[in-house]
Structures are given as C-alpha cells and as structure tokens.
Amino acid sequence: MNGFWENIIVITAARYSVVVLCTLIFLTVFELVTSYKNWEEIRKGNLAVAMATGGKIFGIATIFRYSIEHNDSLLQTIGWGTFGFVLLLTGYFVFEFLLPTIKVDEEIGKGNVAVGLLSMIFSIGIAFVIGASIG
C-alpha cells in the first residue's frame, strides 16, 4: 500500500482534489464577505464581478501552486495554502482600505469594470507575493 501513495498519479490526483475543495471553501468565504452575490452577478453578466472573482480564483491557485512546490505532505500543503488564503483575504480588506474614495465592493457590485480589473490585478499580484513567501 505504501507504493500506492508514492505513485505520482495518485499524488497529483490527491493534490488536485484538495485544491479544488479548498478553492470552493475559500470562494464561499469570499461570497460571505462581499456585499454582492458573486455567481448571481456573473450569471447576469456583471463583468466587474467576473474579473474580481477570477482574480481571487487565480490568486488561490497561485498560492497553492507555491504551497505544493515547497511542501511534500498534503497536510503541509493545505496548511500553507490556508494561511496564504487568510493573507489574501486580509489583502482584500486592505485593498478596500487603501482606496478610501472608492467603495470597492459597492463599485464591483454595480459593474464598474475599472474597479473589477484593479481588484483582479491586486489579487493576482498579492498572491504572487504571498506564494513566494510561504514555505
């Protein structure tokens, strides 16, 4: 049975499954902290929400990419990925704070594509910084 868990296909499938599950959980958290309903707005064609959500998905994936690269065990990967997500979520609130003249969440919900793009780029950029820093 030990050989089974050392098979690269099994390891890849396990990492993939964990990252997909974590991504769904983390997106649910983002759904709870935003004033708009991500998937409802995307269904309506709100490009700003789609870009902001896409940036969050890319950010989560980037953090897990680094976590997988630097950790051998699945538990360590989950731990560092979760820690990275908490930093990404904190970054989301900092981003809102850094733009005091713009209510980021409200503008994205209203479909402001410029704010959605900026939010996407911020999420992606901060995810690279987080990912490079995690062990």
Residues 48-94 pLDDT 10s: 999 999 999 999 999 999 999 998 889 999 999 999 999 999 999 99
Candidates 46, 33, 63; CA nearest to 110 is: 46
pLDDT confidence of residue 128: 96
Share above pLDDT 90 across residues of the chain, in percent, rounded to a whole number: 83
Give the lowest-confidence range in 68-77, 109-118, 125-134.
68-77
pLDDT confidence of residue 5: 67
- CA–CA dist 52, 108 (Å, integer): 8
- CA–CA dist 51, 120 (Å, integer): 6
pLDDT confidence of residue 8: 87
DSSP state of 35: S
pLDDT confidence of residue 135: 65
Candidates 77, 99, 91, 95; CA nearest to 129 is: 91
CB 58 within 8 A of CB 123: yes
Give the tens place of pLDDT for each residue, 7-24: 889 989 999 999 999 999
pLDDT confidence of residue 38: 93
Mean predicted confidence (pLDDT) in 35-59:
96
Share above pLDDT 70 across residues of the chain, in percent, rounded to a whole number: 97
pLDDT confidence of residue 1: 60
Instruction: Note the pTM of the prediction, 2 decimals.
Output: 0.90
